[in-house]
Amino acid sequence: MTQLFWQSLLAVPAALGAAVAVSGSAIAAEAATLVVHDFNQDSVQLAQITSVSELTDVLPSDWAFQALQSLVESYGCIQGYPNRTFRGQRSMTRFEFAAALNSCLDVITALMPQVSIDADDLSIIRRLQEEFFPDDLAILRGRIDALEAETATLHAQQFSTTTKLRGQVDFHLITPFDTSPGQTSTSVSARARLNFDSSFTGRDRLRIRLQSGQGNALQPLRGLANASSSNAGNPDNTDYSVAVDDFYYRFPLGDRITVTASARGLQGDDWVTSTIVPFDGPAVADAGSPQFYQSGSTTNGAGLGINVNFTDNIALDLGYTAGGPGAFDPNVGIFAASNQSYIAQLNFLTDGFFNAAVSYLHNDRSSIFALNSTGVAAPAGGVDTFAGLLNLDFGGFFIAGHGAYQMFNGGNDFSWNAGLGFNDFLAEGSQLGVYAGQLPQLVNNTNNPFIVEGYYRIPFNQFLTITPALIYSDAKLSTQTDNTGFWGALRATFTF
């Protein structure tokens, strides 16, 4: 055995020790989370040295002095910093470790052909491994085994490789401050949704939504935004029955066109890129959303939508809905259903101050509007809707609203809402808003209901949002003399 081989071999324990120290901490970090760290620029600005005495912060009394002396003077594979320091107490990055180890291995590789290794040499190497680092190697093996077991568990327990399950549950507590006919007591409304979202290309989405709920509070005002009540003023799914609410597939055609094919559930505002008005969603009452989308379109049918982005700011939305049950009847079909609707909306969308849209909807057969001030349903016929939407975002607050003119068999109707809001008010992700609006005059209404709502959406964490609201209503019904008063509402929304 030559002296050259044993000198090479002396570098192995030092290199292996550095590997254990760095790899152990790296593996422990990866077991918790995968994080990519930037490394200090100093780690790549190193200076080659020829003697350990050139390192001003390394003394002969240091416990690693001899190891450094051997690596520097015998092999020349250790470098110092430009200021001639070694910084032995500093933690080592994975990049630095890889560079130093590679440098030493290159030297050893160059020396190896000059010597031969017999069985005795291999036995000595094994003994060095067993006697110097048995505990460290056992710890590493244990951590690797734990990572493999955890990975296997994740693979076994994952829901699907292509489908994600998302849920939302909304609880409402509604109480009238004034006694009004039909709405005299505190009540609870709730809705639960489970969305099964699948993607096969990373850019498409197949959604199947199951929904259940109960409650019909605020019916003169079109009900609650996230509860089981329809915009025609009749409760829907009030026995917590579970039904398929959405069933559609959305996919891109190139970079600027998106197509949506729906078997059930999409209508009106489901076809558009944006409803523009920021109250749509955060508000507790459904009147916070533009009501003309619902009153001017067909519900619960099959349909097709196309979104075309002409530029980064200008988009055109087109949608067609064939109402059920005719759309699902092979003797009728989607083009002969008794109730069909169309929508076209041109949007100007930015990340800044000005966002706007103009909409046109046609429903070829509808009888949901009231005739004049009688509350009696107008004769069934076509409904044409012309609407404009606007949102001005000033940074700290926004002003937004919409107006809609609707013509139907026997009359016409005008509805609107407008208000202002403050995003991130006192808390990140929150929204404080107030709006007022005149709703469409639908069946049983003897006037256009008027509403004012103030709300404050407060996100407590990524799973829970609380929204208290104060609501004022002035709605007259043909079956009741008056429905004017105040409501207090509290909504808790859980997402998972």
Spatial distance between the Cα atoms of 49 and 76, rounded to a whole number of angstroms: 7
Axis crossing angle, helix 3-32 with helix 134-157, rounded to the nearest 10: 40
What pTM was computed for the model?
0.67
Q: Are 486 and 161 in contact (CB under 8 A)?
A: no
Encoding tokens for residue 363?
């429903």
pLDDT for position 88? 78
Domain boundaries, the chain: 49-90, 163-495
pLDDT for position 54? 81
Alpha-carbon dihedral 431, 433, 438, 443, rounded to 10 degrees: 40
Strand 314-322 vs strand 340-348: parallel, antiparallel, or unpaired?
Answer: antiparallel
User: φ, ψ for residue 284 (rounded to 5)?
Assistant: -80, -45
Calculate the alpha carbon distances from 448 to 304, 414, 420 in Å: 32, 9, 22
Calculate the alpha carbon distances from 166 to 82, 150, 249 in Å: 54, 24, 17
Over its length of 496 residues, how does the chain's per-residue pLDDT go in tens digits?
444 444 444 444 444 444 434 333 333 334 333 333 343 444 445 556 778 788 888 888 888 788 888 777 777 777 777 777 888 788 877 777 777 777 777 777 777 666 666 677 667 767 766 666 677 777 888 889 999 998 888 877 677 778 889 999 999 999 988 755 556 788 889 999 999 999 999 899 999 999 998 877 777 677 888 886 433 334 444 567 888 889 999 999 999 999 999 998 888 899 999 999 999 889 999 888 998 998 878 777 889 999 999 999 999 999 999 887 777 888 787 887 778 899 999 999 998 899 999 999 998 877 777 676 666 767 777 889 999 999 999 988 999 999 999 988 878 889 999 999 999 999 999 999 999 999 888 876 767 888 999 999 999 999 999 999 999 988 776 666 567 788 899 999 999 9
Question: Which DSSP symbol is given to 357?
Answer: E
Q: What number of helices (H) and strands (E) belong to the chain?
A: 6, 18
Contacts (Cβ under 8 Å, ≥6 apart) of 129: 16, 137
AA letter at 38: D
CATH architecture of 163-495: Beta Barrel (2.40)
Question: Which DSSP symbol is given to 32?
Answer: H
pLDDT for position 411? 82
Strand 47-48 vs strand 79-80: parallel, antiparallel, or unpaired?
Answer: antiparallel
Spatial distance between the Cα atoms of 415 and 402, rounded to a whole number of angstroms: 8
- Under DSSP, is residue 86 helix (H, G, I), strand (E, B) or coil? coil
pLDDT for position 37? 38
pLDDT for position 213? 87
pLDDT for position 45? 53
Calculate the alpha carbon distances from 104 to 15, 71, 109, 350 in Å: 8, 8, 9, 56
Whose structure tokens read 């060095």? 128
Encoding tokens for residue 423?
């995003």
Calculate the alpha carbon distances from 440 to 28, 220, 249, 408, 454 in Å: 62, 11, 32, 12, 20
- Under DSSP, is residue 269 helix (H, G, I), strand (E, B) or coil? helix
pLDDT for position 184? 73
